[in-house]
Amino acid sequence: MADFREPVQLGRTGLRVGRLGIGASYGVSCKSLEAAFERGANYFYWGSIRRAGMRDAVRALAPRQRDRLVVAVQSFARFGPLVKWSVGRALRALRLDYADVLILGWHDRPPGAGVLDACAELKAAGRIRHVAVSCHHRPLFETYIKDPRFDVLMARYNAAHRGAEREIFPHLPPAGGPGVTTYTSTRWGYLVDPKKTPPGERVPRGRDCYRFALSAPHVHVALCGPRDAAEMDEALAALDAGPMTEEELAWMRRVGDAVRGGTMSIFR
């Protein structure tokens, strides 16, 4: 069985990443991020909401640990010049010369030529190293998988939303394909809410949700969004606990089915 404490290669990028990635949006402190980095969580996602804790942690870590730190910046821009502007703004805030990954956010249709040309120019200039794409229309990932311009896929996957098992994972090649990162492992907190758990079932914890995502053989990194040190520690506990057994996976699927059946979502 895989050891979640061991880093893996993020698909064809060659980047070595810890299995748990961390998002900037929820306010976890610089101190907690530095401690998590020392425990192997080196994928820092500078996403749509950017808090000071991650900014300060990247600024502190990069001068001495840039070869280990993997920084992913996201842009929702739909025009090439704006993509370049948003990358430059992110790099200035983090005091970095380059980002390891540029995530093209929420492309339920293929990015336009201007956006892709901007990515190529940013690569050529050394401002980014790899390009990722996120999408809610899962069937489109088959196209993205075949396109060599996309080095990383960012997809929603959790015990309640398992469509990736049908519409993404089967299309990935056994080797040499894009890296896969996942998000919303807790399904926006519903999976760890005792009120949403069906009678007779144990209530999942945050660590269980991340273990579920990471137990999928195609997932390289599961993103978490901790608000404080306690939530950071809970997420990191998934690394020590390791992959789920078949019994645990079945339990999470039962809870996930109940959660999904009892709530409305525009992203089915």
Instruction: Place 210 in a pLDDT band, splitting at 50, 70 and 90.
Output: very high
Residue 42 maps to a domain:
yes
| Predicted local confidence at residue 2, as pLDDT | 84
Q: Is residue 268 part of a domain?
A: no
- Selection from 212, 137, 145 nearest residue 174 by Cα: 145
Q: Is residue 1 in a domain? A: no
**Domain limits at 70?**
15-262
Averaged pLDDT, 10-17: 97
- Tell whether 3 is covered by a domain: no
In a domain, 161, yes or no: yes
The answer to whether residue 267 is domain-embedded is no
CA distance 142 to 160: 22
Whether residue 129 is predicted with pLDDT greater than 90 in this model: the reply is: yes
Answer yes or no: is pLDDT of 136 > 90.
Answer: yes
Alpha-carbon gap, residue 136 to 134, rounded angstroms: 7
Within a domain: 4: no
Residues 6 or more apart whose Cβ sits within 8 Å of residue 91: 73, 97, 98, 99, 127
Q: Domain with 213 in it: what CATH number?
A: 3.20.20.100
* pLDDT over 60 (residue 268): no
Is residue 87 in some structural domain? Answer: yes
Report the chain's mean pLDDT, rounded to a whole number. Answer: 95
Name the domain count of the chain: 1
